[in-house]
Amino acid sequence: MPWWGWMVIGAILLGAELFVIEAEFFLVFLGVSAILTGLLVLGLPDLAPWLQWIAYGVVALVSMVTFRRRVYRALRPAIADRPDDLEGEIVRVPGGVAPGETCRLEHRGSTWSARNDGPGPILPGGRARILGTQGITLRIEGAD
C-alpha cells in the first residue's frame, strides 16, 4: 500500500473516533498506528506489503496495551463518588415489608424498589428511614 494510503486510513480512523463513534480510544490508537506505518513506508518505499501490515499490527497492539488505559483515564477522568444524598430521609411504605424483603415505594416523584435492611418488619403505611442505596434500590429500616 502506498504511504499516503496509510495516512488516509489513519485520518479516517481518527476522525471516526473523535467525531462519530465513542470507541474508548481504540480507534485513536489504530489511526495513529496507521499514520506511523505511513511514515515508515514513506521512509522505506520498498517495504513489502506484508511487512507493512506486520508493522501496523505490532505498533497498534503495543501502543494500545501500553498507553490506551493511561491516556483514556487522563482525558476522561472517572466521576468521583458522591455522598448518598438520600440517606436519613423518611419515606412512607405503602405495603408491609418484612426484614430482607423488597417493596415498591414513591419518593421524590419516582418509584423506587426498596429493601428492608432493618431488624423488624415495616407495617403498611408505616414510616421508614433510608439507610442508603445499593444500585437503584433503596435500603430502608423502620422509623417508628
Any alpha helices (H) in 16-141, and if so which ranges? 26-43, 49-63, 69-75
| CA distances from residue 75 to 20, 24, 38, 70, 72 in whole angstroms, order as listed | 18, 10, 26, 9, 5
Q: What is the pLDDT along the chain (144 residues), one digit of tens a residue?
A: 999 999 999 999 999 988 888 777 789 899 999 999 999 999 999 999 999 999 999 999 999 999 888 887 887 776 555 566 788 999 999 988 999 999 999 998 889 999 999 999 999 999 999 998 888 899 999 987
Residues 6 or more apart whose Cβ sits within 8 Å of residue 108 = none
> What domains are there in the chain, each with its CATH number?
3-75 (no CATH), 90-142 (2.40.50.140)
How much is the CA Rg of the chain, to the nearest whole Å? 28
CA distance 110 to 105: 8
pTM greater than 0.75 (yes/no): no
